[in-house]
Amino acid sequence: MAEADNSAIPSNVDLLFLGGLQSDYGILPDRRTFEQLPGGAVAYALVGAMVWMRSGLGLVARVSRQYPAQWVSCLSERGIQINGVVRAASDPPMIGFHCYRSWDERIAAVPNQAYGRLNLPCPPILAKTQCVSSVYEDAEPDPDLLPRPEDIPADQRQARFAYLGPMRSEAQIRLTTGLRQNGTGHILVSIASREMTPEQIGKIRLLLHGQELCYCSEDSARHLFDRPIGEIEDLAERLASLGPQVILLGRKRDGYAAYDSVARRHLSIPAYSSTFQNPIGFGHAFCGGFLAGWKESFDLLEAGLRGSVSASLAADGLGAFHALECNRMLAGMRLEALRRLVAK
């Protein structure tokens, strides 16, 4: 891995993923622990798209020396364009710590205290860590790990579709501006939960103005507004008033709500019921699957169902790369099952 390679190499990248990578550690509700697994919102989203696409995908991210080079190589070997992966100037940690009370509730916890309460050994790398969970979701990320518009390789600036993982809203605003200037017309912005506060609503409005697609969790969306909003449909419409055409809301294991503000169409996207083993990144896997479906059809329901299948595959096993090992026939079978479910 070297500095950003922006040379004009022939490329067919049409769907670009920009955001944070990390190594995940954590404690699950059943007391199982995991260490140094591929993580980060952009990794889950990218693999979610790879369920449906085997070419035309590019990755833009910043990594330190602590990030395992073999993980980037794994993506390259599967056809992902990785010349947008840039070595950061400094060497900040790239660790996400996740601690769950239940499969639907992540809790704030200092690693050594969380392991100690369960009489479990704390991984040495976490022993002095005070941050909570993902560096891209909740903690203040190191500026060197935030991707920048100039990191986008020259040969990938023609990409028509992009997923922008959760990070500081200021960084997302710079990236969306750069993407639009390059001609990328279809951008799915995933908003970090830590950004969704009434104090930040001005920045969120600036970020979402003129955007096509926006994703966040239902819980974080409810924290954005001063006044409580009851029905999920009202919440989606309130978010749409900030600018984006399509609102996507993650509802944990209850599926997803989708709203097209132009067509004034509300949809409830069911979650595929499967063995739930991983509570971390399935919402971002949904985004990747959705964007792959949106690229093919611009159909809200079809894209949503593909996103739901990608999320289910991500939730089946630990680590962002788990779904890479799934048989594509399994994805097709789950898609048909969801189509029959919504047709009832």
pTM of the model: 0.94
What is the per-residue pLDDT across 270-285, written as a single tens digit (0 to 9) for each? 999 888 899 999 999 9
What is the per-residue pLDDT across 177-230, written as a single tens digit (0 to 9) for each? 999 999 999 999 999 998 999 999 999 999 999 999 999 999 999 999 988 898
Residue from 5, 44, 64, 32 nearest 307 by CA: 44
- 213 bridge partner residues: 188, 246
For the chain, the residue count is 344
Domain ranges of the chain: 15-23+32-91+136-343
- Out of 3.20.20.70, 3.40.1190.20, 1.10.3720.10, 3.40.50.10540, the CATH code matching 15-23+32-91+136-343 is 3.40.1190.20
> In what order do the strands lie in the sheet containing 213-217?
81-87, 57-63, 15-18, 161-164, 186-190, 213-217, 246-250, 256-260, 265-269
Residue 136 has pLDDT above 70, yes or no: no
Residue from 336, 162, 304 nearest 236 by CA: 304
Cβ atoms of 286 and 11 closer than 8 Å: no
What is the per-residue pLDDT across 171-189, written as a single tens digit (0 to 9) for each? 999 999 999 999 999 999 9
